[in-house]
């Protein structure tokens, strides 16, 4: 670090003006001001400043302007001088534009760190809307001194992201003695049936549960569920074909004091109106006690996630199970979705092993998957 001073003057303004004539206004930092009284007969106050110099890399326009000025001094012919003067004028304009641009938020030197955060968020597949909100928030709420500290900035951004993650961890809790009905909804092949088996095996092994399948559409769906029921210690499995079946089986389940009913549904797009209406009619009898969940694979594009969440809204699902996490490498899309829809994550599924590969949703799970935030994004 190169220090300067003391630079003296009769007032602070005079000292500053001396400094500005010696260095560029951003090229020094004053660390100490002094004020002394000097003289014996005629006393006067002397102000002085000390500090250190800040060296900024000259930008290319400044550099070439200086080179031109040096060569101008050495040049002889007037014609050459005129040409040089025209070039300098042009460079001056460019320089002025550059200086003006540096006043726009987002282009200043200290914004390098904000640009770094922007690029990290992009790598993590956050939506442009989400990224802009974070950048505006940095500009509006954080002083430059904090933004300059990249690690601190990363921690702050992680805090904000953590606040946007919505979690509902208590799917299985509820008043004792009340039967819970978990309904699994979602487009085709997202993992509804497998997730039921995973949940039953991992979280409900000490509960008295029964499986219902309403999937009368996919060939082999009933066989698949019956096979899974066998694997789950011969759990009871009922096939529901119409609302009357649901009423009867629902009544039986409560009469036999079941704790839990897992209800599988056929995969469909709600724009397939006939099937959507049929499924809703079948589910109607247990609507009041039901806990509907929507499954979406973690790798789904943001626009498709939004469409699916909107299309399944009429089923009043309580939250989302993000499936197939093992096939996705980023979590920005999911967090952006939570921020946009306010819907919480319930579970994450992480592989094809039906006896495991499921976790209750936590914030840490998503935060630990953020790329590039280093220790700021590591949680236990
Ligand atoms: N990689 C991976 N595959 C999974 C996961 N969960 C389910 N699968 C696979 O996804 C495929 C579809 O799973 P299903 O459970 O049949 O999906 P579904 O939503 O019931 O499908 P439909 O009933 O046809 O709508 C199967 O091959 C599963 O093994 C997961 O977490 N990771
Ligand atoms: Mg299925």
Which ligand is in closest contact with the Cα of 194? 1
192 C-alpha to center of ligand 1: Å? 7
200: in domain: yes
Predicted local distance difference test score (pLDDT) of residue 180: 87
**Of the candidates 273, 187, 267, 274, the residue with the CA atom closest to the CA atom of residue 219:** 267
Q: Whose CA is nearest to atom 14 of ligand 1?
A: 191
CB-defined site of ligand 1, < 6 Å: 186, 188-194, 215, 218, 267, 323-324, 326-327, 349-352, 357
pLDDT tens per residue, range 268-301:
877 787 888 888 888 888 877 899 999 999 999 9
Place of tokens 């010696």: 22
Domain total in the chain: 4
Provide the CATH number for the domain around residue 332.
3.40.50.300
170 C-alpha to center of ligand 2: Å? 24
342: in domain: yes
288 in the same domain as 191? yes
Q: What's the domain range around 139?
A: 111-164
175: in domain: no
pTM: 0.72
Question: How sure is the predictor about 370, in pLDDT bands with cuts at 50, 70 and 90?
Answer: very high
117 in the same domain as 85? no
169: in domain: no
Q: What is the rounded distance in angstroms from the CA atom of residue 237 to the CA atom of residue 225?
A: 7
131 in the same domain as 41? no
206: in domain: yes
77: in domain: yes
Residue 365 near residue 377, CB atoms below 8 Å: no
Which ligand is in closest contact with the Cα of 191? 1
Task: Measure the CA angle with vertex 280, ends 274 and 285; round to 5°.
Answer: 145
204 in the same domain as 79? no
pLDDT tens per residue, range 102-116:
444 444 545 789 999
- Of 57 and 293, the structure prediction assigns the larger pLDDT to 293
352 C-alpha to center of ligand 1: Å? 7
Which ligand is in closest contact with the Cα of 268? 1
217 in the same domain as 291? yes
Give helix 332-341 / helix 128-141 axis angle, nearest 10°.
80
217 in the same domain as 332? yes
Q: Whose CA is nearest to atom 13 of ligand 1?
A: 191
372: in domain: no
173: in domain: no
Per-residue pLDDT, averaged over 369-374, amounts to: 91
Q: What is the rounded distance in angstroms from the CA atom of residue 317 to the CA atom of residue 305?
A: 14
193 in the same domain as 153? no
188 in the same domain as 70? no
206 in the same domain as 344? yes
């Amino acid at each position: 670090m190169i220090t300067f001073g003391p630079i003296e003057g009769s007032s602070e303004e005079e000292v500053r003006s001396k400094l500005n004539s010696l260095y560029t206004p951003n090229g020094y930092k004053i660390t100490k001001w002094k004020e002394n009284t000097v003289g014996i007969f005629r006393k006067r106050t002397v102000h002085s400043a000390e500090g250190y110099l800040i060296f900024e890399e000259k930008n290319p326009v400044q550099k070439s302007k200086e080179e031109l000025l040096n060569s101008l001094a050495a040049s002889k012919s007037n014609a050459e001088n005129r040409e040089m003067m025209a070039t300098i004028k042009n460079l001056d304009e460019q320089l002025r534009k550059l200086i003006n641009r540096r006043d726009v938020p987002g282009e200043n030197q200290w914004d390098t760190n904000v640009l770094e955060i922007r690029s990290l968020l992009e790598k993590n597949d956050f939506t442009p809307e989400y990224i802009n909100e974070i950048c505006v928030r940095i500009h509006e709420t954080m002083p430059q001194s904090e933004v300059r500290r990249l690690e601190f900035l990363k921690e702050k951004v992680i805090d904000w992201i953590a606040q946007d993650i919505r979690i509902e961890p208590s799917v299985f809790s509820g008043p004792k003695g009340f039967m819970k009905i978990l309904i699994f909804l979602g487009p085709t092949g997202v993992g509804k049936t497998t997730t039921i088996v995973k949940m039953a095996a991992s979280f409900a092994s000490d509960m008295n549960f029964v499986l219902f399948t309403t999937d009368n559409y996919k060939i082999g769906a009933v066989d698949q569920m019956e096979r899974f029921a066998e694997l789950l210690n011969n759990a009871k499995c009922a096939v529901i074909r119409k609302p009357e079946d649901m009423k009867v089986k629902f009544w039986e389940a409560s009469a036999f004091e079941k704790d839990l009913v897992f209800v599988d549904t056929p995969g469909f797009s709600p724009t397939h109106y006939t099937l959507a209406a049929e499924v809703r009619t079948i589910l109607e009898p247990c609507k009041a006690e039901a806990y509907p969940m929507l499954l979406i694979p973690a790798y789904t594009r943001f626009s498709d996630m939004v469409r699916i969440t909107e299309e399944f809204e009429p089923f009043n699902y309580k939250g989302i199970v993000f499936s197939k996490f093992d096939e996705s490498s980023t979590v920005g899309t999911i967090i952006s979705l939570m921020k946009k829809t306010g819907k919480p994550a319930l579970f994450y599924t992480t592989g094809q092993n039906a006896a495991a590969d499921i976790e209750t949703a936590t914030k840490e799970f998503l935060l630990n998957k953020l790329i590039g935030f280093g220790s700021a994004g590591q949680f236990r």
